[in-house]
Amino acid sequence: MELYNKYRPQTFSEVVGNEDAIKSIQAELTHGTHTFLLSGNAGCGKTTLAYIMARELGADDLSTHIINSSSNTGVDTVRQIEKDIQYQPMTAKCTVYILDEIHQSSVSSQNCLLKVLEDCPEYAYFFLCTTDPQKLIKALQTRCSMVTVKPLTHDQMTLLLRKVCHKEGIKVAIDILEQIADLSEGSGRKGLKLLASVLYLESDDARRQYLATNTVSEENKDAIELARVLAKGASWNDIASAMKACDLSNPEGIRQLILSYANTILMKGMNNNAIAMLMGFCEADTYKNGKFGLTYGALNYLNYLNG
């Protein structure tokens, strides 16, 4: 069994990070909310949280239904749910539907789902998971309680990796775990898959060699180059050029990498450029502003650097 499945959290208390999201979920469940929209980057734990929510409500394996909306895009899927939901669960307190990648469902099926959510019986719950909530029709968004699941910070990712290493009974050098934390871009799933690729090698030297030669994708190379440009205290033209070379489809991942890069520099000693990187990009809201959040962070960085 892969590490990310073997150590998938089973309760809210086992989840690393996303404390605010969990508090919001618990409060909403207490007050009777039946429909949630969980959004966030791939691998950040949306489906895991949905499973935990189902267990907290008293659903079991038979009454928890996960539907991959990327392969079940049409209205027939929703109509089947509408038929099945009429029957109360035989072995559990409630029925839960987890609709994964819901943004890939057709507009027709989303419209069809509206009536299902409106007429949702007391024993039924719907957890919609998506990496792109803006692709959902507005009427569907407004029928859900919105929860943003954020990527793990560098420190949270490192903590997660250390916990798994401890449970596996294998000691791994902290610099290796921090490197994996940098490469994972806040995705717990990606971090644990990277850890699995090196965990059972014979030594830390072998692990460092593997990471150095097998894990830096072209996307990561461009983002790392942007971080290096910032660390040198470059001009706006140099920053803009480096940013243009990056794949900006995951701006939060790039922001996290920049922050981790700056943090690694500061672990070695004071550095004004690294401080400006932290100050500038800590305030950049890539969830709200997407790739433009990176531009905001870069401008803030220059203000801190030159101010």
| Structure-token pair, residue 94 | 């409630």
What's the CA gap between 211 and 169, in Å, rounded? 21
- Residue 256's alpha-carbon distances to 117, 214, 283, 302, in angstroms, are 36, 21, 12, 18
Measured between alpha carbons, how far is 234 from 231 in angstroms, rounded to an integer? 8
Domain 154-214 is found in CATH 1.10.8.60: yes
Domain spans in the chain, listed from the N-terminal domain onward: 18-148, 154-214, 218-306
Query: Do 127 and 54 meet the contact criterion of CB atoms below 8 Å apart?
Result: yes
Radius of gyration of the chain (CA): 21
Q: Note whether 182 and 257 are within 8 A (CB).
A: yes
Taking each helix axis from N to C end, the angle separating 251-267 and 174-183, rounded to the nearest 10 degrees, works out to 150
Within 10 angstroms of residue 273's Cβ, the number of other Cβ atoms is 16
Measured between alpha carbons, how far is 157 from 60 in angstroms, rounded to an integer? Answer: 30
Alpha-carbon dihedral 74, 75, 76, 81, rounded to 10 degrees: 120
Q: What is the dihedral of CA 251, 252, 254, 257, to 10 degrees?
A: 180
Distances (CA, A) of 221 to 68, 214, 243, 252: 32, 12, 12, 16
The two domains 18-148 and 154-214 share their CATH topology (first three levels equal): no
Rounded distance, CA 303 to CA 138, Å? Answer: 37
- What's the one-letter identity of residue 55? R
pLDDT tens for the chain, residues 1 to 307: 788 889 899 999 999 999 999 999 999 999 889 999 999 888 888 999 999 999 999 999 999 999 988 777 678 888 988 888 888 888 899 999 999 999 888 899 999 999 889 888 899 999 999 988 888 999 999 989 999 998 888 889 999 999 999 999 999 999 899 889 888 878 899 899 999 989 999 888 888 888 876 665 545 678 888 988 999 888 899 999 999 988 887 787 788 788 878 887 887 788 899 999 999 998 888 877 888 989 999 999 999 888 7
Task: Please give the pLDDT value at position 215.
Answer: 62
What pTM value is reported for the model? Answer: 0.69
For residues 6 and 153, is the Cβ–Cβ distance under 8 A? no
Instruction: Count how many Cα atoms sit within 13 Å of the Cα of residue 104 in the half-sphere of its side chain.
Output: 13
- In sign, the C-alpha dihedral spanning 214, 219, 224, 229 is positive
Q: Which residues contact 141 (CB under 8 A, 6 or more apart)?
A: 37, 133
Does domain 18-148 match CATH 3.40.50.300?
yes
Tell me what pLDDT residue 220 has.
67
* Token pair in block for residue 137: 């029709």
Q: Which of 248, 291, 265 is nearest to 178 (CA)?
A: 265
In degrees rounded to 5, what are phi and psi of residue 36? -125, 145
